[in-house]
A and B are shown apart, each in its own frame.
Chain A
Amino acid sequence: MFAFLANPARFMVFSAWAAPVLFVGALVLFATGIPWALFYSPPDYQMGDTVRIMYVHVPAAWWSMGAYAFMAGASFIGLVWRHVLADVAARAAAPVGAVFAGICLVTGSLWGAPTWGTWWEWDGRMTSMLVLFITYLGYLALWNAIEDEERAARLAAILCLVGAINLPIVKFSVDWWSTLHQPASLMRSGGSAINDEMLGPLLTLGGAYLLLFGALTLMNMRAAIFRRRVESAELRKAQS
């Protein structure tokens, strides 16, 4: 599929319908997931209703890391095969991932205040997540600081791959250091430790975030490609 979509013209045809389809899918999942999570799922026996922050916090955390992994993959393809669309894809995913990381940090802080009794704790998970957020900012800043787009793409790709070292640190921080943050409860040996009634809305919203990420990234890519076409058209007009 990647080879098929590697042609920008074919990509534009594909994304013209894929982006709205993903977006509508995200809206449907949000429309079912949000009421399910906020009203129809049980409160936690210890945390009460504050557990509902989880449904916003956990998917944002998943897909801020997923977005970075996607960017790292696209950066690698862009560096090795010099593919323009891969550069565009990495750049397009960055603001979405950055916002997800920001949502994760803010909701985590709001959740920590009533349950842990602190807004912020410098433990492994929170620190590495903050580093991920700053890496997103550095990536975007580096891209914006360099005028030549192709060069900006390559340099940002190198930075993205260097920053990818942090991803396994975020993932395993809860296992490596004893932390306030709870260890993984879904993807662990022995199966999920989450009650089925809570797992349903969590996975629904996880899917919603994923579809939203896909839709926004495709839209960003389309905008970037249109911008390039306008620029080259203006260049041609100025030359004639």
Chain B
Amino acid sequence: MSAFGVTFRRELALLWAGGGALAPIGYFLGATLLVPLAMGPERTLLQAAGPPLVWIAAALSVMGMLERLFQADLEDGSLDQMLLSAPPLELIVFAKGAALWVAIGLPLALTGAPIAIALQAPVERVPSIVASLALGTAGFVGVGLIGAALTASVKRGGVLLALIVLPLFAPPIIFGASVASGEDVAAAFAILGGCALGGLALGPIAAAAALRLQAE
């Protein structure tokens, strides 16, 4: 089997064994549950503020999964094995990112549908919100790989990871929220796709460079 396939399946199995998308989805639901409780259930207010808050909660859910992404590999020596193996580290990192998106990003995007409806988003807009979340979480994973790799050897690097990654999350958030509120949807989708492709193309290269520096 190809290196991509092996890593992809290993990552999926590991993510699945660790509870899969259960924890991030629970976090996503919990965080967005607090929105109407804090703002009051008034319909017009929720319609305006709800969809952007779905995006913030989704970004934070993805970020929560990043801290341990490479740390475990660094600690148990898997990273050394990956470096010693023939396929390039970039490919392995890309496979890890792809597995993270399939295991976490896609379920989060699907969970976005009931959450958006509960936050009073117009029902006809829900499919485009789910599609934009799917693209946006791919962008989050792409740049998230870089942040996770840079902080892999930092003990309790969670806050530092957030500081590095959150500003890079800005473009998907901006254009994702514009899909959610129904402005310039076609242009926003084009840019979201660009963020996802750019992140998944460049993220593994930068992340692999950072990981090579940290392997003993």
Q: Which of A's residues lie within 8 Å of B, judged by CB?
A: 79, 127, 131, 134-135, 137-138, 141-142, 145-146, 151, 154-155, 158-159, 161-163, 166
Contacts and interface: CB of A to CB of B under 8 A. Distances in A.
B153 interface: yes
Contacts of A162: 143, 146, 168, 202, 206
B200 interface: no
B160 A151 contact: no
Given A131-B170, A155-B210, A155-B213, A138 B153 contact: no
A159 B210 CA distance: 9
Given A159-B150, A162-B206, A138 B213 contact: no
Given A151-B213, A162-B168, A134 B163 contact: yes
Given A141-B160, A159-B150, A163-B168, 14 more contacts: A79-B209, A131-B170, A134-B167, A138-B164, A141-B163, A142-B151, A142-B164, A145-B154, A146-B154, A155-B214, A158-B206, A159-B164, A161-B206, A163-B167
Interface residues of B, number: 20
A137 B214 contact: no
Contact of A142 (B160, B168, B202, B214): B160
Contact of B170 (A79, A127, A142, A145): A127
Interface string B90-122: 000000000000000000000000000000000
9 contacts: A137-B163, A138-B160, A141-B163, A141-B164, A142-B150, A142-B154, A145-B160, A151-B214, A158-B209
A135 B146 contact: no
Contacts of B150: 142, 155, 158-159
B193 interface: no
B36 interface: no
B157 interface: yes
A158 B146 CA distance: 9
A134 B168 CA distance: 10
A146 B164 contact: no
Contacts, number: 53
Contacts of A142: 150-151, 154, 160, 164
A142 B154 CA distance: 9
Interface SS majority for chain A: helix
Interface of B: 143, 146, 150-151, 153-154, 157, 160, 163-164, 166-168, 170, 202, 206, 209-210, 213-214
Interface centre among A137, A159, A163 (most CB of B within 10 A): A159
B209 to A, nearest CB: 6
A145 B153 CA distance: 9
A137 B164 CA distance: 9
A166 to B, nearest CB: 8
Contacts of A158: 146, 150, 206, 209-210
Contacts of B146: 158-159, 162
A131 B171 CA distance: 11
Contacts of B151: 142, 145
Nearest to B164: A138
A138 B167 contact: yes
Contacts of A79: 209
B37 to A, nearest CB: 26
A169 to B, nearest CB: 9
A214 to B, nearest CB: 27
Contacts of B168: 162-163
Contacts of A127: 170
Contacts of B166: 134
Contacts of A163: 167-168
Contacts of A154: 210, 213
A151 B164 CA distance: 17
